[in-house]
Chain A
Amino acid sequence: MISLETILTLQNVFIALLILLLPMGTFGVLYFFGSKLPRKGDWLATGVMGICLGLSVFLLTKTWNLPETVAQIPWFTLPGLQRDIPFLISIALNPLAAVMMVVVTLISFLVHLYSIEYMYDKKNYTRYFPYLGLFTSSMIGIVLSDNLLVTFMCWELVGFASYLLIGFWMEKPAAARASKKAFLINRIGDVGFLVGLFIVYAKFGTFDLAELREFLAYTGISEQLIFTIAGLGIFLGCVGKSAQFPLQLWLPDAMEGPTPASALIHAATMVAAGIYLLAKTYLLLTGDALLVIAFTGTLTALLGALPAIVQTDIKKVLAYSTISQLGFMVMAMGVQAYDAALFHLITHAFFKACLFLTAGAVIHEMHHVKQGMFIRGYFNNFDTLNMKLMGGLRKKMPVTFAAYFISCMALIGVPFFSGFLSKDAILEGTMQWALHHYKTSGQTFYFLIPVTAILTVSVTAYYMIRQMILVFFGEFKLKTFYPQVEPVFQKIHDPGWLMKIPMVVLGTLSVWIFFSVNPLSGHHGWLMEKLAYVSPIVPQLDALVALLVSVLAVLAGASLAWYRFRPATYLIQSDTDHSFVKRLLKNNWYMDQLYQVILIKPGMQLAVLSAWVDRTIIDGLIHTIAYAGVLFSYFVSFIDKYLLDGIVNLGAWISLRIGRFSRSFQQGNVQGYFAYAVLGVVLVFLYLLIIEF
Chain B
Amino acid sequence: MIPLVHYLIISAVLFSIGIAIVITKRNIIVVLAGIELILNAANINLVAFSTQDGMLKGQLFALFVMIVAAAEAAIALAIVTQVYKHFRTSNLDELNKLKD
| Interface contact A666-B31, CB-CB below 8 Å | no
Task: Return chain B residues, CB-CB under 8 Å to A678.
Answer: 19, 23
A562 and B98 CA atoms in complex are apart in Å by 127
A675 and B24 CA atoms in complex are apart in Å by 9
A675 and B92 CA atoms in complex are apart in Å by 14
- With A674-B23, A678-B19 as contacts: A668 and B96 at CB distance below 8 Å: yes
> Is residue B22 within 8 Å, beta carbon to beta carbon, of the partner chain?
yes
A64 and B7 CA atoms in complex are apart in Å by 144
| Interface contact B22-A668, CB-CB below 8 Å | no
Residue of B23, B31, B93, B96 touching A675 (CB-CB under 8 A): B23
Residue of A667, A668, A671 touching B31 (CB-CB under 8 A): A671
Interfacial residues of chain B within 77-97, with CB under 8 A of chain A in the complex: 92-93, 95-97
| Interface contact B23-A668, CB-CB below 8 Å | no
> Is residue B53 within 8 Å, beta carbon to beta carbon, of the partner chain?
no
A669 and B95 CA atoms in complex are apart in Å by 7
Task: Return chain B residues, CB-CB under 8 Å to A666.
Answer: 99
For the residues of A in contact with B, the DSSP-based class is: helix
A674 and B23 CA atoms in complex are apart in Å by 7
| Interface contact B99-A671, CB-CB below 8 Å | no
| Interface contact B23-A667, CB-CB below 8 Å | no
* Tally of A interface residues using CB under 8 Å: 9
* Tally of B interface residues using CB under 8 Å: 13
Task: Return chain A residues, CB-CB under 8 Å to B97.
Answer: 668
The residue on B at minimum CB distance from A673 is B98
A510 and B24 CA atoms in complex are apart in Å by 134
| Interface contact B93-A669, CB-CB below 8 Å | yes
Query: Residue-by-residue, is A648-668 near B (CB-CB < 8 Å gives 1, otherwise 0)?
Result: 000000000000000000111
| Interface contact A670-B95, CB-CB below 8 Å | yes
| Interface contact B19-A667, CB-CB below 8 Å | no
Query: Nearest Cβ in chain B — how far from A230, in angstroms?
Result: 93
The residue on B at minimum CB distance from A681 is B19
A675 and B93 CA atoms in complex are apart in Å by 14
Query: Residue-by-residue, is A667-693 near B (CB-CB < 8 Å gives 1, otherwise 0)?
Result: 111110011001000000000000000
Query: Nearest Cβ in chain B — how far from A121, in angstroms?
Result: 93
A78 and B31 CA atoms in complex are apart in Å by 97
- With A674-B23, A678-B19 as contacts: A667 and B99 at CB distance below 8 Å: yes
Query: Residue-by-residue, is B41-83 near A (CB-CB < 8 Å gives 1, otherwise 0)?
Result: 0000000000000000000000000000000000000000000
| Interface contact A671-B96, CB-CB below 8 Å | no
Task: Return chain A residues, CB-CB under 8 Å to B22.
Answer: 671, 674
Query: Nearest Cβ in chain B — how far from A377, in angstroms?
Result: 105
| Interface contact B92-A669, CB-CB below 8 Å | yes
The residue on B at minimum CB distance from A669 is B96
The residue on B at minimum CB distance from A675 is B23
Task: Return chain B residues, CB-CB under 8 Å to A674.
Answer: 22-23
A670 and B97 CA atoms in complex are apart in Å by 11
Task: Return chain A residues, CB-CB under 8 Å to B96.
Answer: 667-669
Interfacial residues of chain A within 91-122, with CB under 8 A of chain B in the complex: none
Q: Jot down 23 A-B pairs with beta carbons below 8 A, ordered by A.
A: A666-B99, A667-B96, A667-B99, A668-B96, A668-B97, A668-B98, A668-B99, A668-B100, A669-B92, A669-B96, A669-B99, A670-B31, A670-B92, A670-B95, A671-B22, A671-B23, A671-B24, A671-B31, A671-B92, A674-B23, A675-B23, A678-B19, A678-B23
Further 12 A-B residue pairs, CB within 8 A, beyond A668-B96, A668-B100, A678-B19: A667-B96, A668-B97, A668-B98, A669-B92, A670-B31, A670-B92, A670-B95, A671-B24, A671-B92, A674-B22, A675-B23, A678-B23
Q: Please list the residues of chain A having a beta carbon within 8 angstroms of any beta carbon in chain B.
A: 666-671, 674-675, 678
Q: Which 3 A-B pairs have the closest CB atoms?
A: A668-B99, A668-B96, A668-B98
